[in-house]
Amino acid sequence: MKLRHLVKKELIEVVRQKELLFLMLVSPVIQIIVLGYVVSSDIRNVPVGIVNLSGGQAATRVIERVRRSPLFNVRFESARNEDSLDRLKKGEVKTVIVFRDALDRKRGASAYPEVQVLMDGIDANTAMIASGYFSGIIKGYILDDMEKKGRGLPVAARPLFRFNPQLRGINTMGPGIVAFLLTIITLFMTSTSLVREKEQQTLDTLLMSPLGALEIYVGKALPAILVGLVDMLIGLAVVVLWFGIPFRGGVPVLFLAALVYLTAILSYALLISVLSSTAQQAMFFSWFSLIIFLLMSGFFTPVDNIPYPLRLLADVNPMRYLVQIIREIFLKGNGIAYFWKELLAMGAIAVTLVSISLLNFKRFISK
């Protein structure tokens, strides 16, 4: 079988290039660990400045709670409100919390202080989350205080977080990183493989051989699928063993989803390879595509946040479905019954991309 020899040749080439081998086997581990820590949306150690103009007990207790919280890192506490805004401007702190006694015209000073929270809005995400955390501290204090006085709230919502009870950001990001890894390795490896043959003129020799277009096409894709699946296994091991992310689903279903995804992404990579004249062009196309895939995948922000016309683009992004499926498998332990629609969508994208890519490949070799 001629295809077997082509696949073997491709794999030998991968193994012989030590730098490439390192990038394929070691870099995924480094990438996952680094990304796992960096990409997490958990907010910790937000630098905070406190201006306490109140002097009341309530303010002191709330400040104590802020100090105990791992979410905030109190950089300064002052009884005067002179240069706090300047410190916010300089970036020494991201938040300044000002406590002052509230004046109630009817009853004199209120039991609770008036609180002003000044946030650095440049990092909107951190500001929003930190603001939410601080509101939570205040609410917690008021609730505790009311319960002590025997005046509990008539209705209280106590949310129960399923699938990720501690709301660990890495639990959401980790599976997404596996999807990202699967994309980056295979996209770059494949998009440059055919164009490299073009540059070296080895493609002419292949085209002259009895190998058919489909055999060359599949011969290029198969080794990348193998490498991709090996990388996915490495990624799985790291996110589960290093970050302790629960893997509740089945491995076979994950492999099935990965296989469908790889078919789509490799077809796209081969299309890039056919359309590019040089490896440099192919790399540029790949980077450009990777960023679009990533930003529209729900990896960082929910796909629902994407405005309508761009949403259509997200709908044809195979990575979007893989990120969703992989999270469901990891955290919810879901099977195909829960995500067959996404799998089907990914399959449809794969079939379309294979057709376009193969057609272009055939057109290219018949020039």
- What residues make contact with another protein under the rule CB under 8 A? 2, 5-6, 8-9, 12-13, 16-17, 200-202, 204-211, 366-367
74: Cβ contacts below 8 Å, ≥ 6 apart? 48, 49, 50, 63, 66, 67
Q: Least distance (Å) from another protein to the CB of residue 199?
A: 9
Which DSSP category does 121 fall into? T
Q: Residue 57: which H helix or E strand, with range?
A: helix 57-68
How near is the Cβ of 206 to another protein at its closest, in Å? 7
- Which of 207/351 has CB closer to another protein? 207
How many other C-beta atoms are found inside a 10 Å radius of the C-beta of residue 35? Answer: 17
Short-list 354, 322, 125, CA closest to 314: 322
Tokens of 119: 């946030």
Cβ nearer to another protein, comparing 12 with 251: 12
Q: Which is nearer to another protein, 125 or 200 (CB)?
A: 200
Least distance between another protein and beta carbon 28 (Å): 22
Query: 256: phi > 0 → left, psi -120 to 50 → alpha, else beta; which?
Result: alpha
Amino acid present at 320: R
- Write the CB contacts of 244 (distance below 8 Å, at least 6 apart in sequence): none
10 vs 342 by CB, closer to another protein: 10
> Of 19 and 82, which has the nearer Cβ to another protein?
19
Least distance (Å) from another protein to the CB of residue 285? Answer: 24
3-state secondary structure of 283: helix
Cβ closest to another protein, residue 104 vs residue 204: 204
Q: Does residue 69 contact residue 140 with C-beta atoms inside 8 Å?
A: no
Whole-number minimum distance, CB 42 to another protein, in Å? 44
Smallest gap from residue 209 Cβ to another protein (A): 4
d(CA 27, CA 24): 6
Whole-number minimum distance, CB 363 to another protein, in Å?
12
d(C-alpha 226, C-alpha 220), whole Å: 11
CB atoms within 10 A of CB 193: 23
Looking at the Cβ atoms of 17 and 278, the one nearer to another protein is 17
Nearest CB to another protein, comparing residues 316 and 365 = 365
Cα separation of the two ends of the chain: 27
> CB of 201: closest distance to another protein in angstroms?
4
Query: What are the C-alpha distances in Å from 158 to residues 137, 161, 347?
Result: 15, 10, 40
